[in-house]
Amino acid sequence: MQNMKYILILVAGLAIQGNNAESASKIGSQWVEIDGKQYYFEMQNYADWHDAQALCERRNLTLISYQTVEKWNSIRNFLLLEPDFDMNLWSSGAKLADGQFLWRSTGEEVTYTDWATGEPNLPAGSEFCVVVSAFPNGWDDIECTDRWFASVCEEP
């Protein structure tokens, strides 16, 4: 039954692919094309932040970075329509000792943010990695090693 559902989603995805640059379509069980870019949604292997990076690198990909509101909105809107996908996902966001956040996959400073209410809360300098939540909406700095989440990879 699960396979049938994926086939139906795949067919529906192929039907809309190419009609609209902003469309999102499923091109495999976990490869997804959104706004013309391919992402790998790692939904089956939960990992801490370091292992999530390794899972992406194993595919010659990197953990996702959200440089713009458009990119974050695109991923979030896709997730909100995918009940089988996790809403909480690792990003490449990480905090330096001085409290500054970087997208570790690209080395870029984090400029656009969508922190959840009260975040980042920097408790005792223990939360150094950024998980994003499509619902309820918002980002959170959390422990890199103690928590296990799904993740999204992108091409470097």
Q: Which residues bind Ca ion (CB under 5 A)?
A: 119, 121, 127, 140-141
In angstroms, give the least distance from the CB of 89 to Ca ion. Answer: 15
70's tokens: 């458009």
Backbone φ and ψ of 152, nearest 5°: -125, 135
CB of 122 to Ca ion, least distance (A): 7
* End-to-end Cα spacing for the chain: 35
Cα 113 to Cα 45: distance, rounded to the nearest angstrom: 26
* Residue 121 CB, nearest approach to Ca ion (Å): 4
Least separation in angstroms between CB 52 and Ca ion: 17
- If the CB atoms of residues 33 and 141 are measured against Ca ion, the closer one turns out to be 141
Task: Choose between 25 and 91: whose C-beta lies nearer to Ca ion.
Answer: 91
16/117 Cα distance (integer angstroms): 36
Give the residue with the Cβ less far from Ca ion, 28 or 123. 123
Nearer to Ca ion, 36 or 125 (CB): 125
Nearest to 86 by CA among 147, 37, 143: 147
Measured CA to CA, the distance from residue 154 to residue 111 in angstroms comes to 19
CB of 88 to Ca ion, least distance (A): 13
Phi (first) and psi of residue 102, to 5 degrees? -125, 150
Q: Compare residues 61 and 144 and give the one whose CB is closer to Ca ion.
A: 144
